[in-house]
Each structure stands twice: as C-alpha cells, then as structure tokens.
Amino acid sequence: MAKQNPKSKTAPVQQQTGKTDQLENFVADAAGQFMTTNHGVKINDDQNSLKAGERGATLLEDFILREKITHFDHERIPERIVHARGSAAHGVFKVYEDMSELTRAAFLCDPGSETPVFVRFSTVAGSRGSTDLARDVRGFAVKFYTQEGNFDLVGNNMPVFFIQDAIKFPDLIHAVKPEPDNEMPQAASAHDTFWDFISQLPESAHMIMWAMSDRALPRSYRMMEGFGVHTFRFVNAKGESNFVKFHWKPLLGVHAVAWDEAQNISGKDPDFHRRDLWDAIEAGAFPEWELGVQIVPESDEFKFEFDILDPTKLIPEELVPVQRIGKMTLNRNPDNFFAETEQVAFHVGHVVPGIDFTNDPLLQGRLFSYTDTQLIRLGGPNFHEIPINRPVVPVHNNQRDGYMRQTINRGKTSYGPNAIAGNDPAQVKAADGGFTSYNERIDAKKIRARSRSFFDHFSQARLFFNSQSDPEKNHIIDALSFELGKVKAVPIRERMLAVLANIDKSLAGEVAFALGLHIPDVPLAELNNSIPADGKREDYASANPEGSLATSEALSMAGTIKDTIKTRKIAILAADGVDEKSLSKVKDALVADGAVVHIIAPKLGEIISKGDKKIVPDESFLTAASVLYDAVYVPGGTNSVAAVEAEANALHFLNEAFKHCKAIAADEEAVQVLESTYFYKKLPAEYSRETVLREGVIVSADVEELTALFKEMIALHRFWDRENPRKIPA
C-alpha cells in the first residue's frame, strides 16, 4: 500500500521541494503494514510453498510462490552501456542574480526561487558493481526540475572529451571496455585495445592528459569540478544568443588521492565514493557547488585559436573568466537506489526555453543517443512517467500508449488539430513560454568531413601539461607509464610514445624510459587513422601550433581551496591506557571544525583510558585501513603508546599514511611509535612551523599548538613533495 513517507530527517524543512513532495506520492513504507501479494491479497505464509503433502512436490496453483519467484526472476534491467556505476542525491539550486539579460530560462532569472535537482555521479567504463576508485572520467549529471520542465546538464568532471565526432563513440567505448574475448580488465583503461585505439587518434591527446592526471582519482565526488563540456547557447527573451560553457565549482576544493592509494581503496572499500557521499549527507554536511558560466558573444565565435565547437578544447579561464551565477546544495539521500539512482534517465537534449544547442558534432550525436538508450534500458517509451523522471509541471500532449503506460488520458482525441476537444492541448507562443529553437542561419552542403579548425590536437594538451605543478606532472608520467606498462603489444606502446612526443618531449622521454623504449619518429599523418576512406592522411594531421597561452592556473589542482578540514576523515590510534585528555582535546577541536574522527584500537568493544574512562572505538586495526582516512593522530598514555607500537597493523597504518603523503600528528609521549616507522628518522631534526607544514608531520607535547598546526596540515590535503625523491616503501 502506498503510504506517505516521513520526510528525510536530513533535509531541513525549507528545503523540502515540489519534487520531494511529488516523489512521496509514490513512496511505500512497510512499517506497521500487513504483507500482501502484488494484487493486495493478505499473505498468511510467505515462508513455505504449497505442497502435495509434507514431503510432496510443489503445486502449480501456488500463486504466492509463483508471483514471488517470477518478480525476482525479472528484477534486473540492463545496466547503462557507459556510466553504469553511479551514486546520486537530491538537492536544490538557487541562482544568485537575475540572468535574464542572457537567458530567458526562468530558473536562472529568479533569485527568490529554489529549483529541485537530482544529481548522479558515475564512473564511465566499469560495470554497476565495479570499484569507485578506477582511474576514469567521472560523470556529473544534474537534472533540474524547473517550473518550465526538466533541464538536464549531463556533464563530466573533465572539461573536454576524447573524440570530436559522435560517430566514433561506439569505437571509443568498445576500446575501453573489457576486451571481448575474456572480459578483462574490469573498470580499467590499462589494456591493449584502449591504447591501440587512442594511439591512432591524436584528437584524444588533450583528454588523455586529463584522464592520466589526478582528476581521474577524486578524493570524493564532493571535491570534483563538473563541466558541461560542449559549448551551449543562452537565448534571452529578445531571441539574442550568447555561447555558454557550464562549470560546477565545489566549495570544498578539488582534491585527489594517490594512485597506489586508489588501488588499495578498491580492495578495502570499493564503495568509497558512494559511502562518502551518503555519509556526508546523512551527517548534514551537505555538498555544495557553485554554477559557473563562461559567456562568449556571438561576435567572438571565431576569435580563438581553437574552434569553440570542438569538444576536445576548453576555453581557458584567462581568456574568458568563469562567472559564478548560483549554488547547488545536495541535502537528501535517495530512498531507494533502484527506483531513483538506477531509473533516472538523463538526456543532454532535455533543455528549457532560454538554453539551446550548438553544432558541436559530439553534442549533436548525443542528442540522439540518450533517449534511444533509455528505450532499451528502461523498456519502452514511457520512462518519463517513472517518478524520478517526472517533471514537476503538468505533461500534456498527444503521445499515447506503449508498455507500462501510467497516465490515464481522458477524452477522445489524441491528435491535433482537433475540433472535438477545441485543439487542446494547445501549443504555446514563445512569449508565453513555448520552446522555440534559436534561429541560427544554416546554408551549407552536406559533407562527411571534419572542419580544419578542429585539427590542432596538441596545443591544449601541452597547455594542460605545462600548467600542472611538479607533483601533478609526475603523476601524469607515472599514470602513463603504468597504463602503457600494462599494454602487451610493444608497437602500441611505441605509437603512443610518438603521440606523447607531440605534446611534450620530456614527458614522452620519461615515459619511454619507464617502458625501456625509444621514442620512434612517426610522422603525425601516419599516426592518424581517423580518416574517411577517400580522405588524405595529411589532411587530417594536426595543425599542431604553439598555443599563445603558456599556462593556465585553473587547470592545476595545486591552487585549489585549502583552508578547510570539513568532512575530512581523521584516524586516532589508541589502546588501553590512552591519555583521554589530549585525545578528546584534539578530537573535539577537529570535530568542531567539521572533520569526522574515528578512534581505532587493537580490538572492538571498549578501551579503558589512563583516567579509567571507557572509550568505544569506531574500528579495530583489523577493520580499518589508512587509505580510508585523510590524516592520523597518535595520542599519549604510556600503555596505549606501547600497545600501538606493538601492533604491526598500526605501524603499517602510519607508514602507509606517510607514503600517501597525509598529515601525521603524535603527542610527544607517543614519539616512540613514530620512531618505529621507517620515515620518522629521515625527517629533518629541527622543529618549526615551516618544517611541520612542509613535511606534514608534527610531534608535540603542547596540545593547543599541535591541534592548530594539525588542522592546517589536514587542510593542505597532501604533502606530495614526499614522493620526491621516491623512497617510500610501505
């Protein structure tokens, strides 16, 4: 029986939106209810099937058994062909100021209104049950339930894409998915078919730099940027258009984990990002992003060195600044994963009046693909009636019937024009909110070819590489060495080195060294197999100019927000005899600033502190792992210190935290624990604020000082310089 569900305790009353109320009409809650069949008949026994005698065969007439098993047999639907692994949340969006000069989209014109959203984050290549921590692009899909219908901003956490034309998408995905003969590897691009394809596709060079960077290993979905990727159009009430690029800027900054850490997390907690999003929302630490736009007037369409219709290019923020126009807050977890997160159907073609498309050939192909894929995935043309997909405004048209139709359309007419029903539903004039496409002038011949303005494949790949900090550059080199190291066919490795040499000689040289190969001298035209049968290879070689911009700060994560410890996870390693005073001082100070603190002990149950206080640990050394935390603290107390020092898992915890460049703090009484690690003796002997903030390790008897510095260290996120020189065992 459908029943009103109590509103989630995590969502404050003012954030209950029309969408949440609408969804509640479909929520069922079994608390206090009788069990029934799907047809409402109360069930007396759901545990035993109906048999011919106690030891006899089951009877076909047992409709309770048949219904239960049949429904179970049909529970699964096909997973998404890409972005199968995802996690989602509800929230709200609010624009800061009236944007009507640029767009007539009502939800962007009224700062007083709040628009409900549903956001799904995802990895691309892995199956539904694959690890969250794969090296991969992340999907960032936002459904705005506006008063003018649904607007879907179906973006990624990287601002460019691998290919320039939608016709190559099936090739790209076939190449990256597990290989078809043995279905390996899962959720990984480190295999022959992917690099075989990529090494013959110089247009992917820029995106490859992003995919091999730390952006592909987010610390959290809450700490990722999002991008609409394509250039879209804003159209105002006068019908005037400007080009627009969409950005999401996370208010917690943009942070990553280390590759070795990512691989370990995949074993210790493959749901790491899903859990992180869920836990933060349950704890009331609502994730927030600002919506940014880059606006390019029509008159500036040809002013750049790249084509704004080319999805392998971004518009550097130095050339067109990002204006922050609104804020999105995620404040409620879904009630049911399948009903909401799995059944949500995004489509880049779901736009509202005031937002329109451009001729970006990747975007144009996407406009076909998304509805098409829902037809097979969700089983028919009525997927818009699934609660999570319904707009919050009424739907009326002459479309009818199809599998699983829910709407009961009254009346005789399902066509127009009709006289019988007075031509209802009525078409709407643009002035009254009817969607009209932007009046773009098109005068062209049909042609299967790519524009010359799309042929510069390397200058932005180079711009990206040059804009990275030294640790970030090293991570790209390591990632390429790892990925190509997993490739079996040497000619593929060599061809990729030739591509890399066009981006940056030193980058290619370092990767070649790691692979034990030389960079071959392959003319670009020969690398590029992405040409039509009647085309000339030379025509499709990159123009390869030196871009005029040497670096762009926004492309590096080094300068990201580093002034908050909100939602960071801190481990405290303690045992019986711990000094509870310093433990609680440090813990309380971290929690007060929004961090999540876990006490980890040799065993679960209770530990008894030096002052005979009972402390309940959150995890044991067996269940916890350093890769699931951002920082670690070892409090004092003689017995506790001795017990922690005697625990191999605790020492491994510290060594690994050091290896992954995390902040480490210890009370002076606990220095012997650090002395048992491999790293402590290698640290400089002198102690100052500067050394602490450089090395990321503090040992102090002064709890106030320790806490203050520890917070600063945690906010810095990582001490990547530890990797250089690379002498970190663990």
Cα 463 to Cα 461: distance, rounded to the nearest angstrom: 5
Cα 497 to Cα 509: distance, rounded to the nearest angstrom: 8
Residue 451: phi and psi, rounded to 5, are -70, 145
Q: Using the rule CB under 6 A, is 157 a contact of ligand HDE?
A: no
Contact between 212 and 256 (Cβ < 8 Å)? no
Distances (CA, A) of 452 to 306, 309, 440, 543: 10, 12, 21, 8
Cα 377 to Cα 190: distance, rounded to the nearest angstrom: 28
If the CB atoms of residues 26 and 370 are measured against ligand HDE, the closer one turns out to be: 370
Contact between 555 and 464 (Cβ < 8 Å)? yes
Q: Is 169 annotated as a binding residue?
A: yes
Distances (CA, A) of 467 to 253, 413, 460, 470, 549: 18, 61, 10, 9, 10
Side chain identity at 508, as an amino acid letter? A
Which residue from 19, 83, 206, 457 is in contact with ligand HDE, where contact means CB under 6 A?
Answer: 83
In the region spanning residues 368 to 397, those forming contacts with ligand HDE, defined by CB under 6 A, are 369-370, 373-374
Q: Using the rule CB under 6 A, is 154 a contact of ligand HDE?
A: yes
If the CB atoms of residues 88 and 463 are measured against ligand HDE, the closer one turns out to be: 88
Q: Is 324 annotated as a binding residue?
A: no
User: From the CB of 350, what's the least distance to ligand HDE, in Å?
Assistant: 11
Largest pairwise CA distance in the chain: 91
ω before 617 within 30° of 0 (cis)? no
Cα 121 to Cα 155: distance, rounded to the nearest angstrom: 10
User: From the CB of 29, what's the least distance to ligand HDE, in Å?
Assistant: 26
Which residue from 92, 188, 265, 362 is in contact with ligand HDE, where contact means CB under 6 A?
Answer: 362
Give the 3-state secondary structure of residue 330: strand
Distances (CA, A) of 670 to 98, 455, 584, 601: 57, 60, 16, 15
If the CB atoms of residues 457 and 473 are measured against ligand HDE, the closer one turns out to be: 457
Phi-psi region for residue 249, left (φ > 0), alpha (ψ -120 to 50) or beta?
A: beta
If the CB atoms of residues 169 and 710 are measured against ligand HDE, the closer one turns out to be: 169
Q: Is 718 annotated as a binding residue?
A: no
Q: Using the rule CB under 6 A, is 346 a contact of ligand HDE?
A: yes
Q: Is 121 annotated as a binding residue?
A: no
User: From the CB of 155, what's the least distance to ligand HDE, in Å?
Assistant: 5
Q: Using the rule CB under 6 A, is 139 a contact of ligand HDE?
A: yes
Give the 3-state secondary structure of residue 572: strand
Q: Using the rule CB under 6 A, is 166 a contact of ligand HDE?
A: yes
Of 74-82, 431-439, 565-573, 718-726, the window that binds ligand HDE (rule: CB under 6 A) is 74-82
Cα 261 to Cα 720: distance, rounded to the nearest angstrom: 13
If the CB atoms of residues 176 and 597 are measured against ligand HDE, the closer one turns out to be: 176
Contact between 661 and 720 (Cβ < 8 Å)? yes
Q: Please give the span between the terminal C-alpha atoms of the chain, in angstroms, as a whole number.
A: 55
Q: Is 660 among the catalytic positions? A: no
If the CB atoms of residues 370 and 482 are measured against ligand HDE, the closer one turns out to be: 370
Closest by CA position to 18, among listed 129, 99, 92: 92
Q: Using the rule CB under 6 A, is 80 a contact of ligand HDE?
A: yes
If the CB atoms of residues 122 and 199 are measured against ligand HDE, the closer one turns out to be: 122
If the CB atoms of residues 294 and 640 are measured against ligand HDE, the closer one turns out to be: 294
Q: Using the rule CB under 6 A, is 515 a contact of ligand HDE?
A: no
Give the 3-state secondary structure of residue 152: strand
Of 79-87, 314-322, 529-537, 613-621, the window that binds ligand HDE (rule: CB under 6 A) is 79-87
Q: Is 370 annotated as a binding residue?
A: yes
Which residue from 93, 145, 151, 169 is in contact with ligand HDE, where contact means CB under 6 A?
Answer: 169
Q: Using the rule CB under 6 A, is 229 a contact of ligand HDE?
A: yes
Number of residues that bind ligand HDE (CB under 6 A): 26
Give the residues across from 244 on adjacent strands.
232, 295
Contact between 504 and 462 (Cβ < 8 Å)? yes
If the CB atoms of residues 80 and 493 are measured against ligand HDE, the closer one turns out to be: 80
Q: Using the rule CB under 6 A, is 216 a contact of ligand HDE?
A: no
Q: Report the residue closest to ligand HDE, judged by CB.
A: 139
Return the residue matching tokens 């975007």: 363
Which residue from 178, 321, 365, 379 is in contact with ligand HDE, where contact means CB under 6 A?
Answer: 365
Give the residues across from 235 on adjacent strands.
241
Which residue from 366, 473, 659, 722 is in contact with ligand HDE, where contact means CB under 6 A?
Answer: 366
User: From the CB of 79, what's the least distance to ligand HDE, in Å?
Assistant: 9
What's the CA dihedral at 335, 338, 343, 348 to 10 degrees?
80
Q: Which letter, b or e, does each residue of 128-148 get, where b requires 16 or more Cβ atoms within 10 Å of its Cβ?
A: eebbbbbbbbbbbbbbbbbeb
User: From the CB of 371, what's the least distance to ligand HDE, in Å?
Assistant: 8
> Residues 98-137: x/- map of binding to ligand HDE (CB under 6 A)?
----------------------x-x---------------
Q: Is 366 annotated as a binding residue?
A: yes
Of 148-156, 174-182, 194-202, 440-448, the window that binds ligand HDE (rule: CB under 6 A) is 148-156
Active-site residue (options: 25, 38, 39, 156): 156
Of 2-10, 52-60, 344-352, 480-488, the window that binds ligand HDE (rule: CB under 6 A) is 344-352
Q: Using the rule CB under 6 A, is 609 a contact of ligand HDE?
A: no
Q: Is 156 among the catalytic positions? A: yes
Return the residue matching tokens 């879907």: 152
Cα 149 to Cα 144: distance, rounded to the nearest angstrom: 8
* Paired sense of beta strands 323-332 and 288-297, if any: antiparallel
Give the residues across from 601 on adjacent strands.
620
Which residue from 27, 50, 65, 81 is in contact with ligand HDE, where contact means CB under 6 A?
Answer: 81
Strands (E) across 4-148 are located at 86-95, 115-123, 138-146
Residue 609: phi and psi, rounded to 5, are -75, 175
If the CB atoms of residues 50 and 81 are measured against ligand HDE, the closer one turns out to be: 81
Active-site residue (options: 83, 273, 457, 717): 83
Cα 182 to Cα 174: distance, rounded to the nearest angstrom: 14
Which residue from 93, 107, 151, 161 is in contact with ligand HDE, where contact means CB under 6 A?
Answer: 161
Of 152-160, 313-321, 507-515, 557-565, the window that binds ligand HDE (rule: CB under 6 A) is 152-160
User: From the CB of 209, what's the least distance to ligand HDE, in Å?
Assistant: 16
Which residue from 23, 64, 82, 201 is in contact with ligand HDE, where contact means CB under 6 A?
Answer: 82
Contact between 711 and 689 (Cβ < 8 Å)? no
Q: Using the rule CB under 6 A, is 246 a contact of ligand HDE?
A: no
Annotated binding site for heme: 80, 120, 169, 366, 370, 377
The residues that are catalytic are 83, 156
Q: Which residues are annotated as a binding site?
A: 80, 120, 169, 366, 370, 377
- Which residues lie near ligand HDE (CB under 6 A)? 80-83, 86, 120, 122, 139, 141, 154-156, 161, 166, 169, 229, 344-346, 362, 365-366, 369-370, 373-374
